[in-house]
Chains A and B, each alone.
Chain A
Amino acid sequence: MQLSRRDVLKLGVLGSAALVLPMERVARTKLAQAGRLSPSQLPRPFVRDFVVPPIAQPAKRTIKDGRAVDFYDFVQQARPVQILDAPFPQTTIWGYQGITPGPTIRVPQGTEVVVCQTNALPAVHPVLRYQSTTSTHLHGSASLPQFDGYASDVTATGQSKYYLYPDFQEARTLWYHDHGVHHTAENAYMGLAAQYHLKDAVESAKLPQGEFDVPLILRDAIFGTDGQLIFDSSSESSLMGDVILVNGVPWPKMKVKRRTYRFRLLNASISRSYRVALSNNQPMAVVGTDGGLTQAPQLVRDLRVGMAERYELVIDFSKLGPGQQVILKNLGLPNNVNFPSTANLMMFEVIGDTPDTTNNTLPATLFDHPVMLLKESDAVTRRRLEFVRQNGHWTVNGQTWDDVINSGFTKVVANPALNSVEVWDLVNKSGGLFHPVHIHLVDVQILSRNGRPAFAYERGPKDVAYVGENETVRVIARFGPQVGRYMIHCHNLVHEDHDMMVQFEVGAGGFDPRLAAAAQSTAGLPDVDVFDGFPSDVPGRV
């Protein structure tokens, strides 16, 4: 056939669709990133008041099989919030209950918690245009596999999923955050993160409580002049923001009284690590790490905090005079993009005395966590996991989460027997990158770094090990108490998504982390009013 000019125009419709549609998607994202706030437009530091995320109230409390059960009904929602200074518009965040950080769940040891997580987010991310499926991981909990926020066990918009948390572990600062496959970084960056405090008699008797027990959720972000968050992961490498948010507020100022405070510091950043210190060079006492209390307070003047790491710090303001100000600084670490604005985190301003002196003096000893009593000689197996970028993919021993998916979720890098003790070497041969490695389910003790002892502040139970540049970190753990498949991954969430994540299996025959208690439509769930603890037909209730 002969092609006329009109025919060519017709073909042009197909040609334009083929070539323009893919480019338009990229251009839209780039345009959104182009309007980044200039340094002079960033929020002014130490102006906004410090805020504490609200404590979540259970929708229902019951006793089931002789155990207390708290039921929470959470909705993941998009909401506009004013983060930037006027005249910049509000920022749309994604939050548990529509706030970021989400509400803190505070629960005594031994109380089971059931959280119904309903995804009410927009079906598609407004800028990045991905389908906003979520999975909620309670980081630090020995949850059963199907309640661990398995990456590929996702909940779509309009669906809900029950999560059961056993809470039998020692007191600790946990946090719940998104873990949806391939979009954890974006979802968490939008705000799906919050703390979860497991309390027990030991920490209640020894450490500051109430208003003197303060969560500090640290993260960085990039904002556009339209007020919206900009997600720029530098070609799937790292996301480095120039605005520091503490509990969702840019560089806040906290008024403190002249006494000791306990700060539950969590690095909820996507890719940024911090070296935290006080501007007056005052020492801080590290009293807790990821998995709970340390054996004894460790006095440090600065400490390195990788993504997902938690440190409980006690800071003594009693020797400072009213009106005195101290800045919580970030001294910076290699392989972060350090902006002038990221050198400061928040400010403390002393306002006066308080009559409350409860737990105002630190005891010499705190708690002997079981994992801290393990010795290297207890290990029955040694393993080595290498974290490396290969052919554009972030890998663990050359494997990625794609390999796990392709195997029908059966492929594992390790299969420790239930309750066996193993030593793992976490290896980073790169001099240009660091990888905070998170091993799900278990608490670990860091035995050594390149053969040298762990840092003083790391001498407590951990579930994230900062594997620095050219480092081999040796950890020991007892693998249990649950049976089943659990994830191991880099907590640079960009690396995790692309695809530095694999899994191990404790014992054999655990619940399928993906299929049991899968997400279901909201309509299929029992009504909260008639809810009695936990659905009996869901396997895995402890």
Chain B
Amino acid sequence: MSTLAVRPSRVDHLARRGSTPMAFAAALSLSAAIAHLDGVVVHGRVWWAYGAFFLATGVLQVALAGLLWWRPRAWMALIAIPGNVAIVAMYVYTRTNGPPLGPHVGRPESPELLGMTTCAAELAVAVILLRLLGERTGRAMLWGMLLLGLAGWALRLRGTLL
């Protein structure tokens, strides 16, 4: 049996190809992917690993968009929610303390409209994907996201995030 405690009725409803919430999530993931792929060359020029990060992120987000459109499944949410949240966390870190590695280490970038919008889209994907999960797993994810948000604010107040 599935250990994801996914409610059959909800999966049935959401797992249909092109269901409205999943189509929306797919579109958001695709838009985030485009933003990342657009940044591959510019960031890669600074350091190949920055470019590789943008490329990998963009490709994974395209793949996620396709999967969510064609066959949304709970296991995707289990991977995509932490993945998107991790990308958002990286965005916040690079805009406050700067990249943790590479030639621009410790050199914060300015938050620009495209980046903020992409960040919002990734958070929205994570929220929508919570609906693919069962109550128990979904709650665990939700608490994880809450704790991460609280940690962000705490680190800022403590001065760790600059």
Of A18, A131, A391, A405, which one neighbours B106 at CB under 8 angstroms?
A131
Q: Does A11 contact B (CB under 8 A)?
A: yes
Q: Does A59 contact B (CB under 8 A)?
A: no
Contact across chains for A13 and B149 when beta carbons are under 8 A apart: yes
* A26 to B108 CA separation, bound complex (whole angstroms): 10
| A: number of interface residues (CB 8 Å) | 32
Contact across chains for A25 and B96 when beta carbons are under 8 A apart: yes
Contact across chains for B107 and A10 when beta carbons are under 8 A apart: no
Of A1, A11, A182, A401, which one neighbours B139 at CB under 8 angstroms?
A1
Q: Does B42 contact A (CB under 8 A)?
A: yes
Contact across chains for A3 and B130 when beta carbons are under 8 A apart: yes
Contact across chains for A17 and B152 when beta carbons are under 8 A apart: yes
Contact across chains for B123 and A15 when beta carbons are under 8 A apart: yes
Q: Does B2 contact A (CB under 8 A)?
A: no
* A331 to B133 CA separation, bound complex (whole angstroms): 71
Chain A neighbourhood of B130, CB < 8 A: 1, 3
Contact across chains for A402 and B46 when beta carbons are under 8 A apart: yes
Q: Does B32 contact A (CB under 8 A)?
A: no
Chain B neighbourhood of A392, CB < 8 A: 42
| Chain B stretch 143-158: residues in CB contact (< 8 A) with chain A | 143, 145-146, 148-150, 152-153, 156
* A175 to B133 CA separation, bound complex (whole angstroms): 65
Among B23-31, B56-64, B87-95, the stretch in contact with A: B87-95
**Residue on A with the closest CB to B94?**
A22
Contact across chains for B149 and A14 when beta carbons are under 8 A apart: yes
Q: Does B134 contact A (CB under 8 A)?
A: yes
Contact across chains for A1 and B133 when beta carbons are under 8 A apart: yes
Chain B neighbourhood of A124, CB < 8 A: 159, 162
Query: Given that A182-B107, A402-B103 are contacting pairs, would A25 and B146 also be in contact in the complex, using a CB cutoff of 8 Å?
Result: no
Q: How far is the CB of A494 from chain B (nearest CB, A)?
A: 13
Q: Does A414 contact B (CB under 8 A)?
A: no
Of B85, B98, B116, B150, which one neighbours A19 at CB under 8 angstroms?
B116
Q: Does A234 contact B (CB under 8 A)?
A: no
Of A11, A22, A131, which one neighbours B95 at CB under 8 angstroms?
A22
**Residue on A with the closest CB to B130?**
A1
Interface string of B45-56 (1 = CB under 8 A from A): 111100000000
Provide a sorted-by-A list of 12 A–B residue pairs whose CB atoms are within 8 angstroms. Answer: A1-B137, A1-B142, A11-B127, A14-B146, A15-B123, A16-B153, A17-B149, A21-B156, A22-B111, A130-B98, A392-B42, A402-B46
Given contacts A14-B85, A17-B152, A25-B96, could you give 11 more A-B pairs where the C-beta distance is less than 8 Å? A3-B127, A10-B146, A11-B123, A11-B146, A17-B149, A18-B149, A22-B116, A26-B110, A124-B159, A129-B96, A130-B107
